[in-house]
């Protein structure tokens, strides 16, 4: 599940001092293994608080001096709210558990398990009980390989109470909590014209929603081994995007926007954000020209409003494969791609996945 060839190529040797610059998708375990050392040694050498890494972070390797080599060029720094805080963790039956120290509403995150028996652990999020989420508190088995495993979590939009996690191994149980902050977005009143909002009353909508629910309920093995990539080349999302609370008609109920909108010309190729299997491909009343890809591990990506869908149900796609073209079909007021990345059916911020193997 981890690209080890890239790890070796990125090894910097300057004046006998070896250092390594963290790339998207790297894990401490994989870096340690690729350089013939251990997580413990790297943790001590670099004064790390946990196993979470930041892309671009310089790590000292055993026998090395200070990692003073400038990092190779990389993408622009993330806005502050997307920077990973110091992770926190616990230990159970020889397995290390690492989680983010804090989360934001609508964020996907991972609980990392490292150690020889990590694959045997099960994870639950009991704080989901009573939340408006699909299959709350499901017993989850980790995805991964070679001593480092992850379980993806989700913070549903509208939630600001802490995430509680439980890890069980050999009859022992460890419980922890992660605080959650809100997004502070003002409600946007769209006041859609009747010809567009009328779509919400379309009787075929029920069948469309039921089909999408089936996709969310799938539990297949993790299908990807490379970081997630954008669905459109160079497209910039609109400012009112993921997590935006909205009313669609004057006085209507508030609904959260579970995706990110990328305005683009009709016909612009839409590409799979990662490897997976197409589970929905067709034209529907609300979502318009729709493709849903099951990436495994409970992760699905959805692409709405396309003018043309160029894949079929059951087809395997690779990251970057064209799946359709941008359009303005379904509940849409102009050409754009609406992209969703869901964890066990709940919308998570796509920005947290881009250029990463897993969100933080």
Residues that bind Zn ion (CB under 5 A): 259, 261, 338
**Please, which residue, 50 or 259, has the CB nearer to Zn ion?**
259
CA distance 126 to 154: 12
Closest CB 253 distance from Zn ion, rounded Å:
17
Closest CB 206 distance from Zn ion, rounded Å:
21
DSSP 261: E
Nearest CA-CA partner of 155 in 294, 292, 343, 302:
343
Closest CB 192 distance from Zn ion, rounded Å:
12
**Please, which residue, 261 or 275, has the CB nearer to Zn ion?**
261
CA distance 258 to 273: 17
Closest CB 343 distance from Zn ion, rounded Å:
18
- Beta carbons of 321 and 346 less than 8 angstroms apart: no
Closest CB 328 distance from Zn ion, rounded Å:
11
List all residues 6 or more positions away from 281 whose beta carbon is below 8 Å from its beta carbon.
290, 291, 292, 309, 311, 312, 313, 315, 323
**Please, which residue, 128 or 261, has the CB nearer to Zn ion?**
261
**Please, which residue, 104 or 338, has the CB nearer to Zn ion?**
338
**Please, which residue, 59 or 354, has the CB nearer to Zn ion?**
354
Q: Which residue is nearest to Zn ion (CB)?
A: 338
**Please, which residue, 338 or 360, has the CB nearer to Zn ion?**
338
Closest CB 257 distance from Zn ion, rounded Å:
6
Beta bridge partners of 150: 112, 143
CA distances from 341 to 75, 79, 260 (A): 22, 20, 9
CA distance 130 to 175: 18
């Amino acid at each position: 599940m981890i690209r080890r060839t890239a790890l070796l190529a990125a090894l910097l040797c300057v004046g006998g001092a070896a250092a390594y610059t963290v790339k998207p998708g790297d894990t401490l375990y994989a870096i340690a293994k690729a350089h013939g050392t251990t997580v413990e040694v790297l943790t001590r050498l670099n004064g790390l608080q946990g196993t979470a890494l930041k892309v671009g972070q310089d790590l000292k390797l055993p026998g090395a001096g200070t990692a003073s080599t400038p990092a190779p060029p990389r993408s622009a720094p993330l806005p502050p709210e997307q920077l990973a805080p110091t992770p926190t963790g616990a230990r159970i039956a020889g397995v290390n558990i690492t989680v983010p120290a804090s989360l934001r509403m609508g964020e996907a995150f991972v609980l990392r398990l490292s150690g020889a028996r990590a694959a045997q652990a099960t994870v639950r999020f009991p704080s989901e009980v009573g939340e408006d989420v699909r299959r709350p508190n499901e017993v989850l088995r980790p995805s991964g390989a070679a001593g480092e495993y992850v379980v993806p979590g989700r913070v549903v939009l509208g939630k600001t109470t802490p995430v509680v996690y439980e890890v069980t191994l050999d009859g022992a149980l460890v419980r922890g909590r992660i605080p959650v902050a809100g997004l502070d977005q003002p409600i946007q009143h769209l006041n859609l014209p009747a010809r567009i909002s009328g779509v919400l009353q379309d009787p075929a909508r029920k069948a469309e929603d039921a089909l999408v629910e089936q996709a969310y309920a799938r539990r297949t093995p993790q299908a990807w081994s490379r970081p997630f990539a954008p669905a459109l080349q160079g497209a910039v999302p609109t400012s009112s995007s993921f997590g935006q609370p909205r009313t669609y008609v004057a006085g209507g109920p508030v609904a959260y926007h579970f995706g990110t909108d990328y305005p683009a010309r009709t016909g612009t190729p839409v590409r799979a954000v990662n490897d997976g299997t197409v589970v929905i491909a067709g034209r529907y009343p609300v979502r318009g020209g729709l493709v849903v890809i099951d990436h495994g591990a409970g992760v699905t990506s959805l692409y709405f409003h396309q003018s043309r869908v160029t894949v079929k149900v059951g087809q395997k796609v690779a990251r970057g494969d064209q799946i359709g073209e941008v359009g303005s079909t379904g509940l849409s007021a102009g050409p754009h791609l609406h992209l969703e990345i869901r964890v066990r059916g709940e919308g998570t911020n796509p920005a947290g996945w881009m250029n990463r193997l897993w969100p933080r």
